[in-house]
Amino acid sequence: MAPMENITYQKWLSQFRKGYLELCVLVALRQRKSSYGFELLQTFENAGLEINEGTLYPLLNRMQKNGWLTSRWETPVDSGHPRRFYQLSKEGKTLMSAMLTAYQDHEHTLTQLKELK
């Protein structure tokens, strides 16, 4: 059975992606200071991360409810329609640093394990 058809793998991937996407959003917002959904989608697409609107917007909404992000509505002069801009909250910044360190630690461990002889 190909991995993509394996339900256990799909569950694992879904859980893995959930945390990973949260970290990606936090890192992207740290870099951009402030961004809105459409722009974040393009940023992720350019970075090679596949994510669709149906996943990103509920994720942003939940992260904001968790207090990791703040948002404000702005209507730029050039676009004519309001955009919801997201920024990292203070809690989000702290969390991102901790998550990034944890991620790098895990990555380091995995590298060590892969090099085991």
Q: Which of 2, 50, 54, 77 binds other proteins (CB under 8 A)?
A: 54
Q: Which of residues 61 and 100 has its CB atom nearest to other proteins in the complex?
A: 61
Q: Do 56 and 103 form a contact (C-beta atoms < 8 A)?
A: no
Three-class HEC string of 73-102: EECCCCCCCCEEEEEECHHHHHHHHHHHHH
Q: Which of 57, 93, 100, 103 binds other proteins (CB under 8 A)?
A: 57
Q: Which of 24, 36, 96, 99 binds other proteins (CB under 8 A)?
A: 36
Cβ–Cβ contacts within 10 Å for residue 92, how many? 24
Binding site for other proteins (CB under 8 A): 36-38, 52-55, 57-58, 61-62, 65, 73, 79, 81-84
